[in-house]
């Protein structure tokens, strides 16, 4: 990076993700939108930081007020319940990006905000994003398929010996 004359501070999303993680004490992610605005996402009881960030970015692109929930807990809870009870995930497992996008697509059948958000997926291509922790292979793969330029801090969210 020194030879190229660049630094971490050249990507505002890096500083924003790390600051949000420091403030919340949990993993966080940030994305720089085309107009320069920086959006963040933080880990919650159901969503990982990357899932929260993706929903925030889609709401921003679709012009949906930040106070509106695209996916209510009544939609997300049964998905999490199925993962834990029937698919062997532990209770600490969070919903991955692919699961969030499937839920959003289903919600889009009857919810115009969810449909509008799904309609903005193509506008994520080429945007810059950063995570305060190394993401799962699933989340990393979804960002790649969406064309988002993603970087991560060199640390895992947990101290498990095996990471998927």
Q: How far apart are CA 160 and CA 13, in angstroms?
A: 27
pLDDT of residue 148: 98
> What sign results for the dihedral spanned by CA atoms 19, 24, 27, 32?
negative
Averaged over 8-16, what is the pLDDT? Answer: 86
Judged against a pLDDT cut of 60, whether residue 164 lies above it is answered with no
Q: Is the Cα dihedral 96, 48, 151, 11 positive or negative? A: positive
pLDDT in tens, 74-121: 888 888 888 888 888 776 678 899 999 999 999 999 999 999 999 999
Q: How far apart are CA 92 and CA 10, in angstroms?
A: 34
Domains by residue range for the chain, with CATH: 8-152 (3.40.140.40)
pLDDT at 151 over 70: yes
Give tens-digit pLDDT for 17-73. Answer: 999 999 999 999 999 999 999 999 998 888 899 999 999 999 999 999 999 999 988
Q: Tell me the C-alpha distance between 49 and 52, whole Å.
A: 5
């Amino acid at each position: 990076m020194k030879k190229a004359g660049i630094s971490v501070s050249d990507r505002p999303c890096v500083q924003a993700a790390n600051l949000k993680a420091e403030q919340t004490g949990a993993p966080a992610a940030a994305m720089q939108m085309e107009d320069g605005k920086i959006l963040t996402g933080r880990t919650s009881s159901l969503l990982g930081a990357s899932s929260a960030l993706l929903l925030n970015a889609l709401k921003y692109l679709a012009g949906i007020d930040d106070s509106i929930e695209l996916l209510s807990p009544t939609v997300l809870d049964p998905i999490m319940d199925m993962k834990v009870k029937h698919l062997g995930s532990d209770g600490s497992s969070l919903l991955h990006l692919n699961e969030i996008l499937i839920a959003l697509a289903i919600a889009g059948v009857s919810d115009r905000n969810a449909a509008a958000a799904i309609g903005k997926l193509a506008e994520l291509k080429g945007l810059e994003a950063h995570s305060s922790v190394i993401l799962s292979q699933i989340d990393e793969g979804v960002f790649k398929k969406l064309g988002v330029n993603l970087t991560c801090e060199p640390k895992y969210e947990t101290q498990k010996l095996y990471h998927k």
